[in-house]
Amino acid sequence: MAWLLLVVSGFMETAWAISLEKSHGFSRLVPSILFAVFLALSMAGLGLALRTIPVGTGYAVWVGIGAVGTALIGMIWLGESTTLPRILCLVLIIAGVVGLKIFH
């Protein structure tokens, strides 16, 4: 259950990062509110997951999911560049996250 909570919290990290970008420096109300909600949910989930999962592993997995998710959304929906080196770097992050779970 802790791992599922950690993964969901990682997706919430992606959501707050995108909301932060869409808030345009907290000048837009709805994305700013969404940022705060997703941030609180993400942190709460991470905190609960870390009751069972070691902090180094849990934090790295959480950040990895958030980073990959945010980068993919940026490439797919926000018009950021999609190049082979960027995709390879994301694959390396995913491999590291999977490795941390396997060797936990």
| pLDDT tens series, the chain, 104 aa | 999 999 999 999 999 999 999 999 999 999 999 999 999 999 999 999 999 999 999 999 999 999 999 999 999 999 999 999 999 999 999 999 999 888 87
pLDDT at 101: 84
Q: Are 64 and 14 in contact (CB under 8 A)?
A: no
Long-range contacts of 91-98 (CB under 8 A, 24+ apart): 93/64, 93/67, 93/68, 94/64, 94/68, 96/60, 96/64, 97/60, 97/61, 97/64, 97/65, 97/68
pLDDT at 52: 96
pLDDT at 87: 96
Number of domains in the chain: 1
Stated length of the chain: 104
Report the distance separating Cα 4 and Cα 43, nearest Å.
14
- The structure's pTM equals 0.89
Which domain does 75 fall in, by range? 2-102
